[in-house]
Chain A
Amino acid sequence: MATYLEFIQQNEERDGVRFSWNVWPSSRLEATRMVVPLACLLTPLKERLDLPPVQYEPVLCSRPTCKAILNPLCQVDYRAKLWACNFCFQRNQFPPAYTGISEVNQPAELMPQFSTIEYMIQRGPQSPLVFLYVVDTCLEEEDLQALKESLQMSLSLLPPDALVGLITFGRMVQVHELSCEGISKSYVFRGTKDLTAKQIQDMLGLTKPAMPMQQARPAQPQEHPFVSSRFLQPVHKIDMNLTDLLGELQRDPWPVNQGKRPLRSTGVALSIAVGLLEGTFPNTGARIMLFTGGPPTQGPGMVVGDELKVPIRSWHDIEKDNARFMKKATKHYEMLANRTATNGHCIDIYACALDQTGLLEMKCCANLTGGYMVMGDSFNTSLFKQTFQRIFSKDFNGDFRMAFGATLEVKTSRELKIAGAIGPCVSLNVKGPCVSENELGVGGTSQWKICALDATSTLGIYFEVVNQHNAPIPQGGRGAIQFVTQYQHSSTQRRIRVTTIARNWADAQSQFKHIEAAFDQEAAAVLMARLGVFRAESEEGPDILRWLDRQLIRLCQKFGQYNKEDPTSFRLSDSFSLYPQFMFHLRRSPFLQVFNNSPDESSYYRHHFARQDLTQSLIMIQPILYSYSFHGPPEPVLLDSSSILADRILLMDTFFQIVIYLGETIAQWRKAGYQDMPEYENFKHLLQAPVDDAQEILQARFPMPRYINTEHGGSQARFLLSKVNPSQTHNNLYAWGQETGAPILTDDVSLQVFMDHLKKLAVSSAS
């Protein structure tokens, strides 16, 4: 088994791919009986320190419907200088540049260790990156000041030749012209009126140059069409100007009466931002960065009226169909998101407010375009400041960790078809022979567009085995999948990363053990979770839970070892042993449970869940709990109420929060000030240890988690208590009064109860 774990890990290291099954059932029927679909988590731009890009272009299969890229799995006839496509079996001539190849002189893409390879394309115009700040000015003075400083700071982090633009909004929307000397100019739009892209471009005077350009064309065909935009200027040119402009930025001057929310035209501001980029820089990497401190309160995309007495919609309202503006607003933002995606731009949302800001309605803007979503309480917190700063972090090459305008194309060998993908992508609607009719996630296509991605952006890609049961695949046959990701690197080069993987086919009857052993329960849990979350966007919560339960039961029935009707006899093999636990925590997670979460929070959590890689996703599903005590070195402990002990310090990482929890005794000690006494220095160290560890996590993670330092009885201890498995509650008698752990006041079922039921159902012949 260890070998499979290693294999899986190796594959992930090398290719950024984790499959739910690493040996594939060889027929459609068997595949469906496996319950967990054949799928993988793909991190297209996984950081590979050891993978320098090659400076030439890939060799393509000449069959027009295939166009697969030459890879190590292809059979090569060195003498004839021919290669056979491993997807369509087309035989292709090598291009002239490859005349010198031989067994000993292979190009990189033929070497097995280059199952993932990156090509750099020299063709095409290199367009600078574009950063368009869309800034809410209806903020508290303090917040605005902090935001202004962050923005000014960010100018120094941007690539010097990147173009920046600034749109501010409140009651009105202002598009600032950055090129002018002297008077600062801005174009102002009413915040209540929806405008078409054409109107926006007309009003900004962007369509004008059309005529002069046509005339100028013949003379200077190579003239940069971009330079003309007055609203987007290279950072190095208007650095000072923009810094001043940001410095002079005032709060929205329109009076806000008591009992009212400020009028905030987020919908129009975004629409204008999208329109502006659409007109000036279509299909080049661009980020629209929306900074908002509250819900849109007017115009298209408004989420709530300006009467403070009317609260923003809650899940309760939504269930009762009481959210007046939600549908319309969602539609507005979806329309914008789709346009943005079409243009290859992305929208980031930085929402910092104590109340909701309408992320529920706006989520698609970030979700469909690969933009970031950051939610915080205030712009004046390190959470926002550091997160924002981290966006501009650089990799070891000094390049920004962001890529734009990616297209992911998936090619499969004949026995497989593509069912869909779940992640920060939109379908490009490319039909083909390898596209399945059954959709899982965003399907019906073999290509997706990911407008912005980074080294951790991960997609779940689902496949369908289409090989018929009566057409067995020969022993030792392998299925292959090729992922081709074309993208704009942050250095503005176009690059293509190609990953080609192959897995063995196995007959489910004769080689059941192989298949079972090659199950990757972590990947499977995440992939199933993605499916669940994806469906949760459009379906009722209970239905999803029921579906998940049924899948789990079926899986247990299929792979469990038990005697019928005897729950106690139920066993799962190692490769499945953790899976039910993942599902248990998934059921309790904020991704599927909306109780206690605002719609905005749910959207926020789901957003991140749909794009993080496997490790992070697992943390989200089942938070990690470390224990620090005098009894030994820090150790991970069960995410269970029984782990909450008086003499321990717990560190919980839920991805979104880092919680340090001091047990009752520890808290008392600290209160008594032992940590300040030289003779108790070890206590001081004990207190410090989890803080250091937490810092480490905080430093690395994006977005920066909320950092919570609490203790037994502290109000914020709820973050911990709500996550742990309620093995002890006020309901189970045996737990009462015991020294171990802390009872949780909840009616939720505990893992034990869950497992008991699961076993019962799995062994029952009725289901």
Chain B
Amino acid sequence: MNVNQSAPPVPPYGQPQPVYPGHHQSSYGGQPGSTAPPNPYGVYNGPVPGYQQTPPPGVSRAPPSSGVPPASTAQVPCGQGAYGQFGQGDVQNGPSSTVQMQRLPGSQPFGSAPLAPVVSQPAVLQPYGPPPTSAQVTAQLAGMQISGSVNPAPPPSGLGYGPPTSLASASGSFPNSGLYGSCPQGQAPPLSQAQGHSGAQPPQRSAPQQASSFTPQASGGPRMPSMTGPLLPGQSFGGPPVNQPNHVSSPPPQALHPGTQMAGPPGPPPPMHSSQQQGYQLQQNGSFGPARGPQPNYGSPYPGAPAFGSQPGPPQSLPPKRLDPDAIPSPQLNELPPQQKTRHRIDPDAIPSPIQVIEDDRNNRGSEPFVTGVRGQVPPLVTTNFLVKDQGNASPRYIRCTSYNIPCTSDMAKQAQVPLAAVIKPLARLPPEEASPYLVDHGESGPLRCNRCKAYMCPFMQFVEGGRRFQCCFCSCINDVPPQYFQHLDHTGKRVDAYDRPELSLGSYEFLATVDYCKNNKFPSPPAFIFMIDVSYNAIRSGLVRLLCEELKSLLDFLPREGGAEESAIRVGFVTYNKVLHFYNVKSSLAQPQMMVVSDVADMFVPLLDGFLVNVNESRAVIISLLDQIPEMFADTRETETVFAPVIQAGMEALKAAECAGKLFIFHTSLPIAEAPGKLKNRDDRKLINTDKEKTLFQPQTGAYQALAKECVAQGCCVDLFLFPNQYVDVATLSVVPQLTGGSVYKYACFQVENDQERFMSDLRRDVEKVVGFDAVMRVRTSTGIRAVDFFGAFYMSNTTDVELAGLDGEKTVTVEFKHDDRLNEESGALLQCALLYTSCAGQRRLRIHNLALNCCTQLADLYRNCETDTLINYMAKFAYRGVLNSPVKTVRDTLITQCAQILACYRKNCASPSSAGQLILPECMKLLPVYLNCVLKSDVLQPGAEVTTDDRAYVRQLVTSMDVAETNVFFYPRLLPLTKSPIESTTEPPAIRASEERLSNGDIYLLENGLNLFIWVGAGVQQGVVQSLFSVSSFSQITSGLSILPVLDNPLSKKVRGLIDSLRAQRSRYMKLIVVKQEDKLEMLFKHFLVEDKSLSGGASYVDFLCHMHKEIRQLLS
């Protein structure tokens, strides 16, 4: 945010930084960045006069040394800031907080500090002991809710803000350290790190805390003191102090986690602090203030938090509500809209950080291969690079589950509200180090299956009676083993050939299908690709057609082929169209291609049989000639109208006539308004947003496309759509067929060859070259007790169990939701078998089988210990994105929030160790759930900004539907990488930082990517040398805003950045177009949209606010 900009603060920090840097870095890698925070102060201060003053002066530095002492209001803030941060940190660390609690007892607050950092990491938590819940993050959000409310609040709020953000962790932490330094210096640093997060918040807290601190100090001891330093209380927060006291006090009681909160005793405050204040404090405290102080962070947080959150209930005995900081102004405040209450002075650094979680997982699990032999094992995060060894369960690259431990009963499942879902990517591409599934040929008899449930032979089948029979692991049916498959068992009851047979030893493998598995009992012919090119005026004018035809010439040599095949079996065909369709006869015997025009779009048919679909090598000359001529032929076209449904129909009919499956590549530019089936109207209407009719924007205009899609699926005709719209094209309707046929949609708004060529070419190349299966049917079988009930993704279903995919590539993902229909057995666990019948690109019919065994539990805690938040978010996003088709967006959002709150509340109620209600306790596995969920909620589909078009929303909606976990992860929480922080020499990817404006420093350059977009943000204060070496211009002002290509320069920085961009692009399934954004430039708005931890322009809550809100919801559920 502005923070960065404010120059003054920086310098000061700068100094301190040097000193602390070590700490920061060490602990928070990213935090150092926190330097930024200092600036924040400036900013925040801005708003709040009082604070402002404080910040500037003491701001960062002050706090450390003198800051605290300054007791004076001005200084106080600083100090507060620091504390606040800590406090927040606590919040985030939830667990840590608990930890701290413990420590407090054991060690001093400082001790806790170290814990704090731990918090983020599970490991650490454990130490704390309390932590069975370790996972939990206790945030004393009691206040949070309130705080969550918007700032509008009175001065206090101002204060609150100022400090929290501004001080930012960095400064905050430092100061603390400084202060405490003496005490637990060593610890301090760590804390700081942990707290670092919180850094920002401190200020707010600090105020209160300080106040409290005073008291607390007394009680709490050292930490508080520092806190106290901040005299804030006096100021706006008069009330807060009270809280602080609590905090402070809390420390003592710390022994009791909850107690800590309670500690708040400093009864006094109550009166003073209207509930509001307390609320703040609580929040702050909970998270920050106190925590920091102490260990600083931790300690304080707990204490503080408790105090607030709990609302020092004890002392005051005020009802929670009152306790809410909001209450401070007046008890009634509670009733006020949250906004007023706002003033979360939660330190962003103190709340759970996705970056940290990812980093930790990487460090802990990235080095060892993930061996799939163990049932119910939670795989590493999608962001972690790891190798998989298949020892009987499918690789997480194929299947990921929301939980690897399934409740035994539906009651439990209902109680927990954790969706049981698997995200399946049946044809996922594997890294080169991992072997692709073995192909098993069982000859004419075909794959061995259970007679009753038809499950395929898998490692979980039990052989009995000396190997003459086997018991189905899904339905328990006893089947005979065919003579040719018979094998003796060893002493463990295992077949002696188990390791020779992939289907008996691996989680994923393929069977060669027999003719029984083929349509019409005929082996399929090799599939075909049909390129269907819009040649209307728009397409010609934009240069698309020329570009495309040129590119196709070389692209045709890269059609997917199977294994070591020398040439692709895939045949190709060409169609161009505007208001009518032009088919081309490119038979090899012709000297020239022949064009056949079909104008009868109302009743589409394929005008030729022979010569439409051809082998590339045989007809190369004719095809080249055709591609040369297409741009010429239509160069003078004036036809602006296009058709669409007939185009698909034509492609489908062509495949039908050729009796093969295949894929249509449609390159389309405009709304199909020509008189024909599937004709569309421009129905874009922004007025519908936020009304009950908003859902119509996502629904197709006409049912014609669904019917068409159904036919396509029956024929195995997959449709990939490339859109080049200059205006509204009704993506919602046009994407129906691609969506239902397992195809992809690519959209290049306002396509211009110069700007978009690379992106389009890259996408097209990848789309054409990628391996794809056709005419697929997927079925998921499960152990008795659960059942696949719901499916999300790009496919069609004509009944309730079979997922039909006209085409399926390595990126398409199907999310399957399971429900109980009976009890599961803890011993036998739950099995999933996903069987995919498909035609390979060489025309071979195959079955791909993935097996996965999950644990079952009777304890909710087991469930919460084995969840995967990324997968959960994947499911929830898809669920919500489908929901918008039928319900108002607001309902969908509320449903999401409610479900999330229920999940967390259930945990809190059943699994977390008792603690004050004011404490937000999150399961370790789900501590990122709120931040990610918030990202989903503020995504374009669910909360569109003014600049987001209806088409964009529909586009994103359908895109997300078939995303895998890794894609949703980065899509919802973009990666923000500082480019100029780490030494140029380092070859590793720079560590990511959190997606928030306050993390940006104006002297640096950052890269942001979310899988679809790629930004480079250039701070206004970047050194000229850097600008020169990256952009080849002499100053910041000369950088072209919106630049999409970095100049190729021969210097280490340029090379490194371009190399990084290339490697990022290579990781994503779609080419990310680069946009260079300058600080303070118009385009920056676009960029800021992706800083998902911040409040969004369209009204999306900031992370902190949302966390508070979440906490409130949970508390409501619990009470």
Contacts and interface: CB of A to CB of B under 8 A. Distances in A.
A189 B605 CA distance: 9
B593 A187 contact: no
Interface stretch (A198-206, A349-357, A430-438, A556-564): A198-206
B594 interface: yes
Contacts of A203: 580, 599-600
B366 interface: no
Contacts of B633: 180, 182-183
Contact of A188 (B590, B593, B597, B626): B597
B594 A186 contact: yes
B595 A190 contact: no
Interface residues of A, number: 23
B607 interface: yes
A188 B594 contact: no
Contact of B599 (A172, A182, A205, A248): A205
A193 interface: yes
B139 to A, nearest CB: 69
Given A182-B629, A189-B600, A203-B600, A253 B594 contact: no
A253 B606 CA distance: 12
Contacts of A254: 609
B481 interface: no
Q: Which of B584, B594, B603, B626 has the most CB of A within 10 A?
A: B594
B609 A193 contact: no
Contacts of B605: 172, 190
B607 A174 contact: yes
Given A203-B580, A248-B590, A188 B596 contact: yes
A188 B607 contact: yes
A114 B592 CA distance: 59
B596 A193 contact: no
Contact of A190 (B582, B594, B596, B600): B600
Contacts of B590: 248
B603 A253 contact: no
A205 B600 CA distance: 11
A186 B596 contact: yes
B636 to A, nearest CB: 12
Interface in B623-653: 625-626, 629, 632-633
Contacts of B580: 203, 205
Interface in B175-199: none
B629 A190 contact: no
A189 B609 CA distance: 14
Contact of A253 (B592, B593, B610, B632): B610
B760 to A, nearest CB: 26
B504 interface: no
Given A188-B598, A203-B580, A248-B590, A183 B607 contact: no
Contact of B593 (A183, A189, A205): A183
Contact of A183 (B598, B608, B609, B629): B629
A185 B600 contact: no
Given A189-B600, A203-B600, A183 B610 contact: no
A568 to B, nearest CB: 74
Contacts of A468: none
Interface in A152-189: 172, 174, 177, 180, 182-189
Given A187-B598, A187-B599, A190-B600, A182 B592 contact: yes
B583 interface: yes
A253 B608 contact: yes
A578 B786 CA distance: 103
Contacts of A180: 633
Contacts of A188: 583, 596-598, 607-608
B600 A186 contact: no
Contact of B607 (A172, A204, A255): A172
Nearest to B593: A183
Contacts of B611: 253
A184 B594 contact: yes
A185 B600 CA distance: 16
Interface residues of B, number: 26
B478 to A, nearest CB: 49
A189 B599 CA distance: 7
B263 to A, nearest CB: 85
A183 B598 CA distance: 16
Contacts of A185: 582, 594-597
A187 B597 contact: yes
Nearest to B598: A188
Interface string A262-294: 000000000000000000000000000000000
Q: Which of B583, B592, B600, B626 has the most CB of A within 10 A?
A: B600
Contacts of B596: 174, 185-188
A184 B607 contact: no
A202 B674 CA distance: 12
Contacts of B610: 253
Contacts of A172: 605, 607-608
Interface string B597-622: 11110010101111100000000000
Given A253-B608, A254-B609, A183 B599 contact: no
A182 B580 CA distance: 20
Contacts of B607: 172, 174, 188
A99 B108 CA distance: 139
A177 B633 CA distance: 13
Contacts of A193: 600, 603
Interface in A582-627: none
A190 B598 CA distance: 9
Contacts of A186: 594-597
Q: Which of B590, B593, B605, B632 has the most CB of A within 10 A?
A: B605
Nearest to A255: B609
A254 B600 CA distance: 19
Interface in A67-104: none
Given A203-B599, A204-B599, A183 B592 contact: yes
Nearest to A200: B599
A28 to B, nearest CB: 57
Nearest to A199: B600
Contacts of B594: 183-186
Interface in B567-603: 580, 582-584, 590, 592-600, 603
Interface string A229-266: 00000000000000000001000011100000000000
A253 B582 CA distance: 18
A541 to B, nearest CB: 42
Nearest to A202: B599
A314 B759 CA distance: 68
A248 B629 CA distance: 20
A183 B600 contact: no
A656 to B, nearest CB: 39
A494 B597 CA distance: 37
Nearest to A172: B607
Contacts of A184: 592, 594-595
A24 B598 CA distance: 62
A653 B824 CA distance: 99
A607 to B, nearest CB: 33
A195 B601 CA distance: 13
A244 to B, nearest CB: 9
Q: Which of A188, A195, A204 has the most CB of B within 10 A?
A: A188
Nearest to A184: B594
Interface string A196-220: 0000001111000000000000000
A585 to B, nearest CB: 52
A188 B601 CA distance: 11
A692 to B, nearest CB: 48
Given A185-B596, A254-B609, 11 more contacts: A174-B607, A182-B592, A182-B632, A182-B633, A183-B584, A183-B633, A185-B597, A188-B607, A189-B599, A189-B600, A190-B605
16 contacts: A172-B607, A172-B608, A182-B592, A182-B629, A183-B584, A184-B595, A185-B582, A185-B596, A185-B597, A186-B597, A187-B598, A189-B600, A203-B580, A204-B599, A205-B580, A248-B590
The 4 closest A-B pairs by CB, nearest first: A203-B599, A188-B607, A187-B597, A185-B595
